[in-house]
């Protein structure tokens, strides 16, 4: 049963139920009709027969012998009924309504049967209905009253009715099958379209395809909509993964090319002034450092994508922040760093990740603040949350750039000039860390004035 398509199964069920219903209705109509017609025939046979029998008794009462009886049946509407009065030996005494067809059995035999009404068929295959009544006078059987009618008209009309019913039922069934098939096809059209699209995607990997369905927004319409939304998000994920791989290989190729070029120079030039050699080696070292940072960042993001397990513990945000500030103070001599750490700021989180988060934000604030500027870092507790605020007076981010700064490899135009060695992976990592801690990050920035980054972590106490 599983291999029969649903469409066909539905149609078959539809036809079966419809057919059964049709057969039930038409059969009952036919049977009711038929019974009432044949009953009507019997009734007229019986009533005519009774009339004749009564007339016979009246004559007998008058003293007329049975063989002399002459009946006036002019006033009776015979309606196609033929009758005869016969004596016990079968001699016809009186007839009316035409000649009688006789069944193959004798009258006493016929009368011996319990049922006085009999149906028989003549050699021309025409059916007759006959009613036999005995004339009993003073306890003596004198003869019989026979009345008979041909059933050919009723049989013909009944056959015609049967034919009509069968043809209408078959026609109705055909119509039901066609409309059932059409309806099922129409109802399953979106599913067929989804299957086609899914198959096309499986063959071509073209996530840009969509199911083009413009029907009602019913259950199937919603299914198509959801399927298209799913395709959209798959396409986005696929494209961003593709972009990420392209960007990553591009970013990795640049420092490698520089390092290889410098090695070539070192190999080719035998006598090189010491200062130039040192400069080339410095250049190589810088690129190698940049590359190892890039690789470390890529690794973090790859782990993030793989759903890495993170160990949480009680973490003091103030402790981490001051640790990062101390490290930063060692290499920064360009901007002034002001710190203002609140009292206890305990959160449930990963020490390493929160430290990485603070480094990324502070690193940006210092890098994108020109000489003479100030970077303020502040922690505080507010409404059950620990805030880490990093505020700088640097180059800021333009309104157009702001929505993109958390995208992988995205770098602001001014930022590229200010710090060409950046990779654009800092903030995407920061965002992932924030998500892992179910925290919030807010960015307020104005180009030329400065940037404010606020992280809100859930406080433990």
Ligand X SMILES: Nc1ncnc2c1ncn2[C@@H]1O[C@H](COP(=O)(O)OP(=O)(O)OP(=O)(O)O)[C@@H](O)[C@H]1O
Give the footprint of ligand X on this chain (CB under 6 A): 360, 364-365, 368, 392, 394-397, 405, 410-412, 415, 422-427, 451
Task: Tell me which of ligand X, Mg ion, none is bound by residue 146, counting a contact when its beta carbon lies within the kind-specific cut-off of 5 to 8 angstroms.
Answer: none
Choose between 162 and 301: whose C-beta lies nearer to ligand X.
Answer: 301
CA dihedral 416, 420, 422, 428 (to 10 degrees): 10
Q: 439 in helix, strand or coil? A: coil
Min separation Cβ 336 and Mg ion, Å = 20
Least separation in angstroms between residue 244's CB and ligand X is: 13
Closest distance of CB 387 from ligand X, Å? 17
Burial of 175 (0-12, 13-18, 19+ CB in 10 A): exposed
CA 412, CA 250: separation in Å to the nearest integer?
A: 18
Taking CB within 5 to 8 Å according to partner kind, which of Mg ion, ligand X, none is near residue 144? none
Helical axes 219-268 vs 152-204, angle rounded to 10°: 20
Residue 405 interacting entry, from Mg ion, ligand X, none, C-beta within 5 to 8 Å by type: ligand X
Least Cβ distance, residue 268 to ligand X (angstroms) = 32
Q: What is the 3-state secondary structure (H, E, C) of 289-313?
A: HHHHHHHHHHHHHHHHHCCCCCCCE
Look at residue 423 and give the partner it binds from Mg ion, ligand X, none, a contact being a CB closer than 5 to 8 Å depending on partner kind: ligand X
Q: Which two structure tokens, joined as six digits, stand for 369? A: 């603040």
Closest CA to 51 of 168, 152, 131, 162: 131
Q: Which does 321 bind (CB under 5 to 8 A by kind): ligand X, Mg ion, none?
A: none
Q: Which does 255 bind (CB under 5 to 8 A by kind): Mg ion, ligand X, none?
A: none
Q: Give the shortest CB-445-to-ligand X separation in angstroms.
A: 6
Report the partner that residue 220 touches, choosing among Mg ion, ligand X, none (CB closer than 5 to 8 A by kind): none
Residue 378: both structure tokens together? 């502040």
Least distance (Å) from Mg ion to the CB of residue 443?
13
- Of residues 277 and 404, the one with the C-beta less far from ligand X: 404
Nearest to 220 by CA among 248, 249, 191, 181: 191
Which residue number, 86 or 251, has a Cβ lying nearer to Mg ion? 251
Helix (H) or strand (E) holding 18: helix 6-61
Q: Which residue is nearest to Mg ion, using beta carbons?
A: 426
Say which entry of ligand X, Mg ion, none residue 180 contacts (CB below 5 to 8 A, set by partner kind).
none
Q: Name beta bridge partners: 314.
A: 348
Shortest distance (Å) from residue 241 CB to ligand X: 18
Distance of alpha carbon 301 from alpha carbon 50, whole angstroms: 109
Cβ neighbour number for residue 426 with a 10 Å cutoff: 22
The DSSP symbol for 83 reads E
Query: Which residue ranges make up the site for Mg ion (CB under 5 A)?
Result: 364, 426
The CB-of-402 to Mg ion minimum distance in angstroms stands at: 15
Binding partner of residue 190 among Mg ion, ligand X, none, CB cut-off 5 to 8 Å per kind = none
Which residue, 229 or 327, has its beta carbon nearer to Mg ion?
A: 327
- b (16+ CB within 10 A) / e for 376-398: bbbbebeeebbbbbbbbbbbbbe
Nearer to Mg ion, 97 or 255 (CB): 255
Q: 82 or 324: whose CB is closer to Mg ion?
A: 324
Q: Which residues pair with 457 in a beta bridge?
A: 386
Beta strand spans in 358-439 (E): 374-382, 385-392
Return the number of the residue (101 or 286) whose C-beta is nearest ligand X. 286
**Judged by CB, which is closer to ligand X: 146, or 405?**
405
Q: Which residue of this chain has its Cβ atom nearest to ligand X in the complex?
A: 412
Residue owning tokens 């070292």: 285
Q: Which of 131, 145, 178 is nearest to 56 (CA)?
A: 145
The two three-digit tokens of residue 93, written as one number: 């005494």
Hey, how many other C-beta atoms are within 10 angstroms of the C-beta on 103? 17
110 binds, among ligand X, Mg ion, none (CB under 5 to 8 A by kind): none
Contacts of 122 (CB under 8 A, 6+ apart): 101, 128
Q: Under a CB-based contact definition with an 8 Å cutoff, are residues 31 and 162 in contact?
A: no
Q: Is the CB of 145 or the CB of 453 nearer to ligand X? A: 453
**Closest separation between CB of residue 290 and ligand X, Å?**
9
Minimum CB separation of residue 299 from ligand X in Å reads 14
Give the residue with the Cβ less far from ligand X, 55 or 412. Answer: 412
């Amino acid at each position: 049963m599983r291999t029969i398509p649903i469409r066909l199964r539905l149609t078959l069920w539809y036809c079966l139920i419809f057919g059964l219903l049709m057969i039930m209705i038409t059969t009952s109509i036919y049977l009711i009709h038929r019974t009432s017609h044949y009953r009507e025939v019997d009734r007229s046979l019986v009533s005519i027969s009774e009339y004749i029998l009564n007339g016979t008794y009246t004559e007998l009462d008058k003293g007329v012998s049975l063989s002399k009886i002459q009946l006036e049946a002019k006033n009776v509407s015979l309606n196609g009924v033929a009758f005869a009065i016969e004596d016990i030996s079968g001699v016809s005494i009186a007839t009316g309504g035409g000649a009688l067809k006789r069944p193959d059995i004798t009258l006493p035999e016929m009368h011996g049967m319990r049922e006085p009404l009999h149906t028989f068929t003549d050699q021309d295959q025409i059916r007759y209905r006959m009613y036999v009544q005995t004339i009993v006078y003073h306890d003596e059987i004198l003869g019989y009253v026979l009345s008979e009618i041909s059933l050919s008209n009723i049989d013909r009309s009944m056959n015609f009715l049967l034919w009509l019913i069968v043809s209408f039922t078959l026609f109705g069934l055909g119509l039901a099958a066609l409309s059932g098939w059409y309806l099922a096809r129409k109802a399953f059209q979106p599913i067929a379209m989804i299957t086609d699209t899914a198959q096309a995607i499986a063959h071509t990997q073209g996530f840009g395809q969509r199911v083009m369905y413009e029907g009602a927004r019913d259950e199937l319409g919603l299914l198509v909509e959801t399927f298209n939304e799913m395709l959209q998000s798959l396409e986005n994920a696929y494209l961003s993964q593709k972009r990420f791989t392209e960007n990553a290989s591009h970013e990795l190729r640049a420092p490698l090319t520089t390092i290889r070029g410098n090695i070539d120079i070192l190999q080719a030039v035998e006598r090189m002034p010491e200062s130039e050699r040192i400069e080339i080696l410095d250049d190589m070292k810088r690129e190698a450092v940049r590359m190892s940072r890039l690789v470390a960042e890529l690794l973090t993001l790859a782990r993030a994508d793989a759903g890495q397990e993170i160990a949480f513990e009680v973490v003091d945000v103030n402790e981490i922040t001051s640790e990062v500030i101390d490290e930063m103070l060692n290499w920064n001599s360009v901007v002034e760093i002001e710190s203002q750490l609140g009292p206890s700021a305990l959160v449930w989180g990963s020490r390493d990740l929160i430290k990485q988060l603070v480094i990324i934000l502070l690193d940006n604030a210092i890098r994108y603040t020109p000489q003479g500027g100030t970077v303020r870092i502040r922690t505080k507790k507010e409404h059950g949350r620990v805030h880490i605020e990093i505020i700088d007076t640097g180059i800021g981010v333009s309104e157009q750039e702001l929505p993109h700064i958390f995208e992988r490899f995205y770098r602001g135009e001014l930022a590229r000039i200010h710090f060409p060695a950046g990779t654009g992976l800092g903030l995407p990592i920061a965002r992932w860390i924030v998500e892992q801690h179910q925290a919030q990050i807010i960015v307020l920035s104005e180009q030329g004035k400065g940037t404010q980054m606020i992280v809100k972590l859930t406080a433990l106490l």
